[in-house]
Chain A
Amino acid sequence: MKRSERMKAQSPPLREHGLTWLAIVVLGVGFAMALFYAETDQQGHVQRLFYIHMPSFFGALLAFSITVYASLRYLRSRDVKWDRLAVVGVEVGLLLALINLVTGAIWARPIWATWWNWDPRLTWDAIMILTYAAYGVLRGAIENVETRRRFAAVYGILAIFTAIMTLIIIRIRPDTMHPAVIGPSAQEARGSFDASPTMQITLLVNLLGWALLLPIVLMRWRYRLQQMSERLEQLRQQWFEA
Chain B
Amino acid sequence: MKITFVQAVMLILRRDLIFDIRNRQRLWIIFLFAILNTFVFSFALELQHILRREVVVGVFWTTILFASLLGFERQGSEGSRQRMSQAIKLAPLPRLAIFYGQLLANWLITLCLLLFTVLLQSGLFNARLWHMDFWLASLLGSLGLVTIGTTLTTMFSHISVRVGVMSVLLIPLILPILLTCVRFTLATQSELPVRNEWVALLVLQDIILLILTSWLYPHLIDE
Assess whether A127 is in contact with B216, with CB atoms less than 8 Å apart: no
User: A157 with B159: in contact, given A151-B220, A162-B172 (CB under 8 Å)?
Assistant: no
Q: Interface residues of A, CB < 8 Å — how many?
A: 32
Assess whether A137 is in contact with B168, with CB atoms less than 8 Å apart: yes
Q: Contact string, B204-223, partner A, CB cutoff 8 A, digits 1/0?
A: 01001100110010011001
Assess whether A162 is in contact with B176, with CB atoms less than 8 Å apart: yes
Q: Interface residues of B, CB < 8 Å — how many?
A: 29
| Residue in B165, B197, B216 whose CB lies within 8 Å of A158 | B216
Q: Which residue of B lies closest to A136 (CB)?
A: B168
Q: Contact string, A168-183, partner B, CB cutoff 8 A, digits 1/0?
A: 0000111000000000
Assess whether B212 is in contact with A137, with CB atoms less than 8 Å apart: no
Q: Which of A24-32, A142-150, A210-218 contacts B (4 or more CB under 8 A)?
A: A142-150
| Residue in B165, B205, B216, B219 whose CB lies within 8 Å of A141 | B165
Contacts of A142 on B, CB cut-off 8 Å?
A: 158-160
User: A165 with B158: in contact, given A153-B219, A158-B151 (CB under 8 Å)?
Assistant: no
User: Does B29 count as interface, using CB distance less than 8 angstroms?
Assistant: no
Q: Which residue of A lies closest to B163 (CB)?
A: A141
- In chain B, positions 108-146 with a C-beta closer than 8 Å to chain A are none
Complex Cα–Cα for A173 and B168 (A): 27
- In chain B, positions 17-56 with a C-beta closer than 8 Å to chain A are none
- In chain A, positions 91-116 with a C-beta closer than 8 Å to chain B are none
User: Does B161 count as interface, using CB distance less than 8 angstroms?
Assistant: yes
Contacts of B158 on A, CB cut-off 8 Å?
A: 142, 144, 147, 151
User: Does A161 count as interface, using CB distance less than 8 angstroms?
Assistant: yes
Which of B168, B205, B208 neighbours the largest number of chain A CB atoms within 10 Å of its CB? Answer: B168
User: Does A186 count as interface, using CB distance less than 8 angstroms?
Assistant: no
Contacts of B160 on A, CB cut-off 8 Å?
A: 141-143
User: Does A195 count as interface, using CB distance less than 8 angstroms?
Assistant: no
Assess whether A150 is in contact with B220, with CB atoms less than 8 Å apart: yes
* CB of A168 to closest CB in B, whole Å: 9
| Residue in B155, B172, B200 whose CB lies within 8 Å of A154 | B155
Q: Which residue of B lies closest to A135 (CB)?
A: B169
User: Does B201 count as interface, using CB distance less than 8 angstroms?
Assistant: yes
User: Does A155 count as interface, using CB distance less than 8 angstroms?
Assistant: yes
Contacts of A153 on B, CB cut-off 8 Å?
A: 219
Assess whether B169 is in contact with A138, with CB atoms less than 8 Å apart: yes
Contacts of A164 on B, CB cut-off 8 Å?
A: 208
Assess whether B173 is in contact with A159, with CB atoms less than 8 Å apart: yes
User: Does B84 count as interface, using CB distance less than 8 angstroms?
Assistant: no
User: Does B179 count as interface, using CB distance less than 8 angstroms?
Assistant: yes
User: Does A130 count as interface, using CB distance less than 8 angstroms?
Assistant: yes
User: Does A131 count as interface, using CB distance less than 8 angstroms?
Assistant: yes
User: Does B88 count as interface, using CB distance less than 8 angstroms?
Assistant: no
Complex Cα–Cα for A141 and B201 (A): 33
Q: Contact string, A57-94, partner B, CB cutoff 8 A, digits 1/0?
A: 00000000000000000010000000000000000000
Contacts of B171 on A, CB cut-off 8 Å?
A: 130
Which residues of chain A have a CB within 8 Å of any CB of chain B?
Answer: 75, 123-124, 127, 130-131, 133-134, 137-138, 140-144, 146-147, 150-151, 153-155, 157-159, 161-162, 164-165, 172-174
13 CB contacts below 8 A, A to B, read A127-B176, A131-B173, A137-B165, A140-B161, A141-B159, A141-B160, A144-B158, A154-B220, A158-B212, A158-B213, A159-B173, A161-B208, A161-B212
- 9 tightest A-B contacts by CB? A130-B172, A131-B172, A143-B160, A141-B159, A154-B216, A127-B175, A141-B165, A137-B168, A151-B155
